[in-house]
Chain A
Amino acid sequence: MPRQYDQLFETVRQNIPEVDVHDLKSALDQADAKPVIIDVRERDEWEQGHVPGARFIPRGFLEMRVEEQVPEKDQPVYLYCAGGVRSIFAAQSLQQLGYTHAMSVSGGFGSWKDAGYPFDIPRQWTPDQRQRYSRHFLIPEVGEDGQGKLLDASVLLIGAGGLGSPAALYLAAAGVGKLGIVDSDEVDLSNLQRQIVHSTSRVGEPKTESARTFIGDLNPDVEVVGIQERLTADNVIELVRDYDIVVNGADNFATRYLLNDACVVLNKPIVDGSIFRFEGQVTVYQPGEGPCYRCLFPEPPPADLAPT
């Protein structure tokens, strides 16, 4: 006696367009428009590997989450699971939600792998990381992909002072994987009114060490590289070369020009900040895309006019 399930499956299947993995591959290879691909498997299956560019919405949450992630209902949506069964029912649900081109990929991820097509293995998060970055995971602009980018990124901070302190703390809290901190000074009591990465108990310590202590406690995922040196023409190229982005908190003109020139040569963006009394400024110098510091300030001001 046939199971009712088999009848149900066949009935549903008749109304669902099916494509094979080769169709999916050619859709992926079309350069102009990225197809919408939804992986409806469970998390442990997803973590073993998935079709590149696919979104992960497990079958159990599909109806609840899909309209948020895929608002346009008249575009093609490719659904796949492990073998092409769950995706049939998933496609039926999408049809009921008003999606006009929901398709099931027959053979699913198993056939995709068998065909030798490339797949991505998502980053594995520890339970602590899942909790630590849970708010980021919920923001569409960050998500797990974005958090991965943050952890893979490196930022060189020039100065662990007034600007560098809060910048370092927030970058570390957000999970930027590597922070280089260039500062040759030691912590002074007069710094503590604004340089919040340091503390009373660490007065007299090198600022790089003081910052490392605080950041290590805040987020152990972050590698802190302390560079207890002045930034000079001799070391700037080697230092900047190792990082993706430079955040400048230096307060003198010589360092600004030096850093600018090195970043223009090495094609690295500078996030620049400065403060004078009760006014502050922020801009980004991205070589080739916008002005550099010298475009705005071709010449340093005379020494007696320069604010300190």
Chain B
Amino acid sequence: MTPSATTSVTTKPAGTDTGPGAARNPRRLGGAAAPLRGLAGLAGLVVVLQVLPHSGLVSGDYLPPASEMARALWHLLAEDAFWTALGDTLTGWGLGLAIAVAAGLVAGIVIGSVPVLRAVTASTIEFLRPIPSVALIPVAVLLYGTDLRSVLLLVVYASFWQVLVQVLAGTQDVDPVAEDTARSYRLGGWGRVRYVMWPTALPYVMTGVRLAATVALVLTITAELVIGAPGLGHEIAIAQTSGAVPQVYALVLVTGLLGVAVNLMARAVERRALHWHPSVRREG
């Protein structure tokens, strides 16, 4: 179980790590090597994609080798339409996420700080949350046609719950001792939210935002794909109906990379916002 030994060393709080040099080494190595290893993983994926069509398992007509995807991607990058689509997708994603996070935060804090509200709304939230956002497509088209607003409707609906549920979990986790202390210091309602509830809930909120960021991206592209609103999803749909297989995969690759970028960004934001929190601090 050497790997686990490595893990336990790396996750020790920074200041207390007084182990011998041999035990410290893996972390340093790991820290520097992590991006390299990640690249190695991606390279492995590329190799698999390159080899697969030649293996006879699938035809290259339907799953083109990586080199062909790369060529299609290269051509795409030269097209204005691609960049416009990327911009549309990012706009839909950003706006949708911002609205969902704002609404989720406000609703979560209000519901979370009033026990009666929480009890009353619990069943409704559980009922509304699992309604698939795809089922809202006809409603979205009916209200807004195929423009940005129908994408936003789906994106906000899907990511709102991610944030709300996390915020609710966070507000529930408030330390009773801290709560009592705040009360004995006669902190008002706002003060309790600000100084007691907020710091406790923040890690949860950040997790919620991170989850919502990915969900929002997936939903933005799905909505564009299914409804036909402008964006990367719509470009994929056009490539699909045109039978332009390498372009389809090139675009899919872009959505995947976009996802990786979004996740890295969300993690960076999380780390900055929670730099004081033990879960971040001990990662050093």
Are A and B interaction partners?
no
